[in-house]
Amino acid sequence: MFIILLSIFNLIFSLDLKYVSQHSLIDLKFYNISSFEKYGFRLKNNETGNIILQPFQDINYFYLCDQEYKVANPENYCTKIIDLKANTDNNLGVYSTLYDSLIFLFHEETQMKLFFDQSINVIDIDNNLYYKCFDFFAGYNNLAFILDSKLNYNTTMNIQLYTNISNNSTHIEASLVDRNTQKKYLFLNATKLNYFYTLSHEIKYTLYFSPPIEEKIHSMLCMTFSDYKEYFFDNYTHTIPIISGGFYTFRSSLEKEWNISSEYYPTIFYFYLNGSKSSN
């Protein structure tokens, strides 16, 4: 018995559970724990806010553990969470903040994203031509995104908003605020929007984003940043109801070179970039 227990503890202490970041695409096939025939990863815990999990397929159940040794016996030592629906903001509530990280443990492969609804997301905007996309299936007030930059010159921000809400009087809201003075520099209110704004290097910005509160919504915020003076945007949009599936296409160009890429999210709503050098 002692040898068996010792083997189990050695196995637990040898676990290398990878950390994941909020809003990132998590594909469980890359987080296999072969010794337990399960899939698992760590998430750095947050002092405040509910954990929101967005699976791309329905999940019958999974375990949420707060310490590594519990992974060997999750049925007795971890919290079992059942019946999570795909393409939904599943609210797991506020988990204990006594622990620095939380362990998510699954029995089968799936894909997902997750975040804390009161987190302040920090976005590095320096020389960054990659689109950052955040999608939501519920309404929230003032989700915060700090735009972090160490540049000594201005930056161009492209912000795109989209939602499938059916009530024309209800819109996505986004505002750009100086986090030192709280002065508001920009307020956007629309169901869909493709907008450019020049960020001053002398101002420390925070972007607040509020998806609308309505049944069966899907809202998306996308941002990219460029210091190219020649940067411009050719917009071709194939408009479809988001919930029905299909493609929403943005084509972007740089006069000097093409250097924009994007993550591909295999959700009901597909977002991708396609572009070429300018023909001018």
pLDDT tens track, the chain, 280 positions: 444 444 444 444 446 799 998 888 899 999 999 888 899 999 999 878 899 999 988 999 999 999 998 999 999 999 999 999 988 999 999 887 888 899 999 999 998 999 999 988 888 888 665 667 888 989 999 999 999 998 888 888 888 888 877 777 778 899 999 999 999 999 999 888 878 889 999 999 999 999 998 877 888 888 888 765 444 444 444 443 333 334 444 444 433 433 434 433 333 333 333 333 333 3
Q: Is residue 149 part of a domain?
A: yes
Write the DSSP string, 6-64: HHHHHHHHT--PPEE-TT--EEGGGSEETTTTEEEEEEE--SSS-EEEEESS-EEEEEE
Residues present in the chain in total: 280
Please tell me the predicted confidence (pLDDT) of residue 266: 34
**Structural domain boundaries, residue 235:** 120-275
Cα(175)–Cα(204) distance, integer angstroms: 14
Under DSSP, is residue 128 helix (H, G, I), strand (E, B) or coil?
coil
Q: Where is 113: in which H helix or E strand?
A: strand 111-116
Output the pLDDT for position 127: 63
Give CA–CA dist 193/212, Å, rounded: 15
> Of 133, 115, 114, 113, whose CA–CA distance to 123 is shortest?
133
pLDDT at 208: 96
pLDDT of amino acid 98: 83
Same domain, 214 and 235: yes
Residues 13 and 40 in one domain: yes
Which pLDDT belongs to residue 130? 66
Q: Are residues 142 and 268 in the same domain?
A: yes
Q: Looking at 116, 145, 180, which one is the last position of a domain? A: 116
Q: Is residue 280 part of a domain?
A: no
- How many domains is the chain built from? 2
Task: State which of 116, 136, 167 marks the end of a domain.
Answer: 116
Same domain, residue pair 132 and 181: yes
Q: What is the pLDDT of residue 268?
A: 34
Domain with residue 61: its CATH number is 2.60.120
- Residue 204 inside a domain? The answer is yes
Question: 104 and 136: one domain?
Answer: no
Element (H, E) at 78: none
Evaluate whether residue 269 is within a structural domain: yes
Same domain? For 40 and 166 the reply is no
Do residues 156 and 212 share a domain? Answer: yes
Q: Are residues 125 and 205 in the same domain?
A: yes
Tell me, yes or no, whether 85 and 141 share the same domain.
no
> CA quadruple 124, 29, 56, 79: dihedral positive or negative?
negative
pLDDT at 94: 87
Residue 237 is assigned to a structural domain of this protein: yes
Give which of 153, 155, 118, 115 is closest to 135, Cα–Cα: 115
Asked whether residue 202 is assigned to any structural domain, the reply reads yes
Give the Cβ contact number of residue 135 at 10 Å: 23
Same structural domain, 124 and 245: yes
- The reply to whether 16 and 136 lie within a common domain is no
CATH number at residue 215: 2.60.120.290
Residue 107 lies in a domain: yes
Query: Strand locations in 127-246, DSSP E?
Result: 132-136, 143-148, 155-163, 172-178, 184-190, 192-199, 205-210, 219-226, 231-234
Which of residues 72, 95, 116 is at a domain's end? 116
Question: Which pLDDT belongs to residue 248?
Answer: 42
Q: Tell me: do 108 and 219 sit in the same domain.
A: no
